[in-house]
Homo-oligomer: A and B are copies of this chain.
Amino acid sequence: MTGSAITPDWIAVDWGTTRLRAFAMGADGAVLATARSDAGMGTLTRDGFEPALLSLIDPWLSTRTLVIACGMVGSRQGWVEAPYAAVPCPPLSPALAQAPARDPRLDVRVIPGLKQPRPADVMRGEETQIAGALAARLGFDGVICLPGSHTKWAHVSAAEVVSFQTCMTGELFAALTAHTVLRHTVATDGHDADAFAAAVDDALSHPAHLTANLFGLRAGALLDGLSPVTARSRLSGWLIGMELAASRPWWLGQPILILGAAALSDLYATALAQQGASAETLDADAMTLAGLTAARATLRETAR
């Protein structure tokens, strides 16, 4: 072994549908090295998980090493199914699933997702971010919003997830902008803050108007030269506004933490601020790592 070799105390893995990220962790909690690839769960068959992981972390492995993973890697189509824990419960279930790794250096444990029987709902990956937020904000009692393809609103109290709701806002935005007539009308980036703000208010006042509003973007482009950036911001505002209308009981009068990518978190924070609700924003990737670290601490606790 050369002087530059990394010997992690354990390895943290965030393994979602579209990407795989690994962190070599020191015993003191420091990140010694990171690696990432596009080998998301959605691209792999069951036999593909171990090679995909090894291609990233092989250089970090000498002796048997604990790997803690969260995300879709634990779904039925993943490496090993980590059955959902039912809310109300702490975000991190102690019952991690052992992935069937062949390489003797790998000891891979997968964090279960959460389920809610009524109304039926599930999350996988976000529970780890929630655990990270609770580690960063000890004793937090309120609502955690995790914006993304499937935005989650989770009511958290006494270190447990009490209930949650998923809104398909991000995936709806993506489907509309990529697979409908609006693909000719909506810019792929750029932001018009005034158009966004007006659209949020519009959707909160008239949520039913969505399907009629959508075609209005196309007609506005044809007849009035509506700018693609304005169209994008208006669409974004309508969808987030409709989500806020559906989620009002979740955020109204509650302390709110937003865990997401910076730009998207800002949109949600802005929309909430328009409704008089203030939210603190935390970086989602940092919270994932904090949650995986909390899972590591729990395992150590259990092993004592």
Contact = CB atoms under 8 A, between A and B. Distances in A.
Interface of A: 115-117, 119-122, 150, 165-169, 171-172, 174-176, 178-181, 203, 206-212, 214-216, 218-220, 222-224, 226, 239, 242-243, 245-247
Given A122-B223, A211-B246, A223-B117, A176 B180 contact: no
Given A178-B179, A179-B178, A120 B216 contact: yes
A172 B122 contact: no
B120 A224 contact: yes
A246 B169 contact: no
Contact of A115 (B214, B215, B223, B226): B223
8 contacts: A120-B226, A150-B181, A166-B215, A168-B214, A172-B214, A175-B180, A207-B208, A208-B208
A211 B180 contact: no
A278 to B, nearest CB: 22
A165 B223 contact: no
A302 to B, nearest CB: 28
Q: Which of A150, A168, A169, A243 has the most CB of B within 10 A?
A: A168
Contacts of A212: 165-167, 243, 246-247
A167 to B, nearest CB: 4
Contact of A219 (B166, B169, B203, B223): B166
Interface of A is mostly: helix
A179 to B, nearest CB: 5
B120 A219 contact: yes
A246 B208 contact: yes
A117 B222 CA distance: 11
A143 to B, nearest CB: 14
A34 B249 CA distance: 57
Contacts of A207: 207-208, 210
Q: Which of A166, A214, A219 has the most CB of B within 10 A?
A: A219
Contacts of A180: 168, 171-172, 174-175
Contacts of A179: 174-175, 178-179
A220 B120 contact: yes
A202 B180 CA distance: 26
A175 to B, nearest CB: 4
Contacts of A211: 167-169, 172, 239, 242-243, 246
